[in-house]
């Protein structure tokens, strides 16, 4: 069985179990052992395949790019930034069933500012200029190393580009994001399931700037 066929068959089995109420991690462990999936392959399933009711509800919350104009945009900073950096490294990028683009880098708590950070931020700022929200608020996880410096860098970029907005750190980013009014830019399922409207900023950046340079993986079940 070829690698692509193996993942596809595993995805179908995983979806079947999720549709019948199995716990995600238990279902993934069962399918992973059955098909002898690598850790990367298991991550792909976990980040892309969901019960159909979750798929429908999350897609319903996704707004189109023209809806961002004249609305407040709240950016889940590390979630968006890491995905854009993953694109720039040409690492694995996934187009999930629920309509969001995700990476599988799993480096959130270990994140470090690199040379790619500035490139990713420049793309994010350019995208925001094009989208024209009334205000943009970046929410940054404070415990991550150099988060304060990152917030200052983003505030400077916003000012230099005449974009109304700010960047702030917090010890409880998920709570801060879900309690801030606006359209939420994130692919974090926990946050998506708690808010009313979302925008896939990495997907927008991919389509506008990186489509010819980055390959998306999409599994069909």
Sheet containing 93-95, strands listed edge to edge, beginning at the edge strand earlier in sequence: 101-103, 93-95, 216-217
Q: Report DSSP state, residue 111.
A: -
- Tell me the percentage of the chain whose pLDDT exceeds 90: 83
For residues 36 and 59, what is the distance between their CA atoms, to the nearest angstrom?
A: 31
Q: What is the rounded (10 degree) CA torsion for 174, 178, 180, 186?
A: 70
For residues 15 and 208, what is the distance between their CA atoms, to the nearest angstrom?
A: 31
Per-residue pLDDT tens over the stretch 13-47: 999 999 999 999 999 999 999 999 999 999 999 99
Residue 79, pLDDT score: 95
Q: What is the mean pLDDT of the chain?
A: 94
pTM: 0.93
pLDDT-derived band at 70, boundaries 50, 70, 90:
very high
Tell me how far the alpha carbon of residue 72 is from its chain's centroid. 18
- 182: number of Cβ within 10 Å: 21
Judged against a pLDDT cut of 50, whether residue 1 lies above it is answered with no
CATH of domain 60-217: 3.40.50
90 φ/ψ angles, rounded to the nearest 5 degrees = 60, 35
Per-residue pLDDT tens over the stretch 96-115: 999 999 998 766 567 888 88
SS (H, E, C) 160-219: HCCCCEEEEEECCHHHHHHCCCCEEECCCHHHHCCCCCEECHHHHHHHHHHCCCCCEECC
Averaged pLDDT, 140-160: 95
């Amino acid at each position: 069985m070829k690698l692509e066929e193996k993942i596809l068959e595993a995805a179908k089995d995983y979806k079947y179990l999720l549709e019948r109420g199995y716990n995600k991690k238990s279902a993934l462990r069962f399918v992973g052992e059955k098909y002898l999936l690598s850790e990367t392959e298991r991550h792909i399933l976990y980040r892309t395949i969901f019960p159909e009711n979750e798929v429908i509800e999350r897609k319903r919350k996704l707004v189109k790019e023209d809806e961002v104009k004249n609305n407040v945009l709240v950016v889940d900073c590390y979630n968006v930034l890491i995905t854009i950096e993953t694109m720039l490294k040409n690492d694995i990028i996934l187009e999930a069933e629920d309509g969001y683009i995700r990476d599988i880098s799993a480096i959130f708590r270990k994140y470090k500012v690199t040379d790619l950070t500035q490139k990713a931020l420049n793309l994010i700022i350019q995208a925001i200029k094009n989208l024209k929200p009334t205000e943009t608020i970046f929410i940054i996880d404070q415990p991550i190393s150099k988060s304060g410096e990152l917030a200052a860098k983003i505030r400077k970029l916003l000012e230099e580009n005449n974009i109304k907005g700010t960047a702030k750190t917090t010890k409880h980013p998920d709570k801060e994001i879900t309690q801030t009014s606006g359209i939420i830019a994130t692919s974090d399922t926990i946050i998506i399931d708690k808010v009313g409207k979302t925008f896939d900023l990495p997907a927008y950046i991919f389509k506008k700037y990186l489509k010819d340079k980055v390959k998306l993986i999409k599994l069909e079940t």
